[in-house]
């Protein structure tokens, strides 16, 4: 289980202003229930991610570095993440793609039509060294990972092609340590 992300409050009135704007927009879309639950917080552990939305928690986390880029980017990212909450709230238990047609529709309704799934912001990225490699004994596909796998895992393309998509010991990855 991962630890809770470290949160920090926005400058005085900042977080309240963001929540107020989100609630107003949700009310305009007829989603008062979601509007009453929505929370917006600054997550100081975010590095290369501009923001994220957690549904059904109705929580939006924003990268504090957005404040240095500009208020316009804070607003756009908030609307991007709010569109995720709108799309998932409307879908209920039905599975949808995070950046699918439901999300695109919500973006258009929130005033950011044509929004893309990723950003091109100057946020610092962190490259982690991959320490573990796993080799499929059948097709010799090599998968590199930062963290070690602790459960049995097999090559998905081989399992799909030769075992009907089920786990098969014949395609179990063989672990290699990268120096």
**Higher-scoring residue by pLDDT: 84, 118:** 84
Contact assessment for residue 26 and residue 34, using Cβ atoms and an 8 Å cutoff: yes
Domains in the chain, number: 2
For residue 139, being part of any structural domain is answered with yes
**Higher-scoring residue by pLDDT: 125, 108:** 108
Contact assessment for residue 37 and residue 31, using Cβ atoms and an 8 Å cutoff: no
For residue 148, being part of any structural domain is answered with yes
Predicted confidence at residue 39, as pLDDT, reads 95
Residues 85, 19, single domain; the answer is yes
Q: Say if pTM beats, i.e. exceeds, 0.95.
A: no
Residues 62, 146, single domain; the answer is no
For residue 33, being part of any structural domain is answered with yes
Residues 141, 61, single domain; the answer is no
Residues 84, 34, single domain; the answer is yes
Q: DSSP class of residue 173?
A: P
Domain limits for position 163:
132-177
Whether residue 158 has pLDDT greater than 90: yes
For residue 21, being part of any structural domain is answered with yes
Indicate the residue among 109, 144, 169 that finishes a domain.
109
Residues 82, 157, single domain; the answer is no
For residue 62, being part of any structural domain is answered with yes
Cα dihedral 119, 120, 126, 132 in deg (nearest 10): 70
Closest to 79 (Cα-Cα) out of 92, 98, 96, 60: 60
For residue 125, being part of any structural domain is answered with no
| pLDDT band at residue 126 under the 50/70/90 scheme | low
For residue 78, being part of any structural domain is answered with yes
Contact assessment for residue 109 and residue 86, using Cβ atoms and an 8 Å cutoff: yes
Average pLDDT over residues 163-178: 92
pLDDT in tens, 7-64: 444 443 477 889 999 999 999 999 999 999 999 999 999 888 899 999 999 999 999 9
Predicted confidence at residue 162, as pLDDT, reads 96
Instruction: Give the Cα separation of 62 and 74 in Å (integer).
Output: 8
| pLDDT band at residue 176 under the 50/70/90 scheme | confident
Predicted confidence at residue 124, as pLDDT, reads 66
């Amino acid at each position: 289980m991962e630890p809770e992300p470290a949160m920090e409050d926005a400058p005085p009135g900042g977080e309240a202003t963001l929540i107020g704007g989100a609630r107003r927009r949700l009310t305009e879309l007829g989603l008062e229930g979601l509007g009453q639950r929505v929370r917006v917080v600054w997550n100081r552990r975010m590095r290369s991610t501009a923001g994220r939305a957690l549904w059904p928690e109705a929580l939006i986390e924003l990268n504090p570095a957005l404040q240095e880029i500009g208020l316009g980017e804070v607003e756009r990212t908030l609307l991007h993440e709010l569109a995720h909450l709108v799309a998932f709230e409307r879908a209920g238990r039905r599975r949808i793609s995070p950046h699918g047609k439901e999300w695109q529709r919500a973006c258009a309704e929130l005033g950011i039509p044509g929004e893309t799934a990723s950003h091109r912001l100057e946020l610092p990225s962190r490259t982690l060294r991959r320490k573990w490699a796993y080799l499929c004994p059948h097709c010799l596909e090599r998968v590199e990972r930062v963290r070690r796998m602790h459960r049995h895992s097999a090559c998905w393309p081989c399992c799909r092609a030769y075992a009907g998509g089920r786990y098969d010991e014949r395609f179990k990855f063989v672990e290699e340590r990268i120096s």
